Amino acid sequence: MQTITTAKQFDDIINEPSRSVIKFQAGWCPDCRVMDMFIEPITEDYDQYEWYDVDRDVLPEIAEKYDVMGIPSLLIFENGEKKAHLHSANAKSPEQVIDFLEGLTI
């Protein structure tokens, strides 16, 4: 999972025609570390998406713009538009992440 470190890089990625999953997290977040332990096999199984990582403390303006109130959160973008958002309360287990991805209607 590639790390996004600038707002320009974020904008360039989300404006691509491919679907991108952006994981918002922070180094101090215990739930984010738990997600780190199970997310890699999911990224491999759902390789129709480009997967990226953003530290919400490095790019707080991006987190605010896209209503990331809790972390970890997964946001899906396509052609510059936010298509889906898995909020932190529902992103605590591999099953919840898989259910989110399987339930997408985009």
Catalytic residues: 29, 32
Closest CA to 73 of 21, 38, 14, 28: 21
For residue 45, what are the contacts with CB-CB under 8 A and spacing of at least 6? none
Type and span of the H or E element at 84: strand 81-86
Cα–Cα distance measured from residue 88 to residue 105, given in angstroms and rounded to the nearest whole number: 20
- The residue assigned the tokens 């959160």 is 73
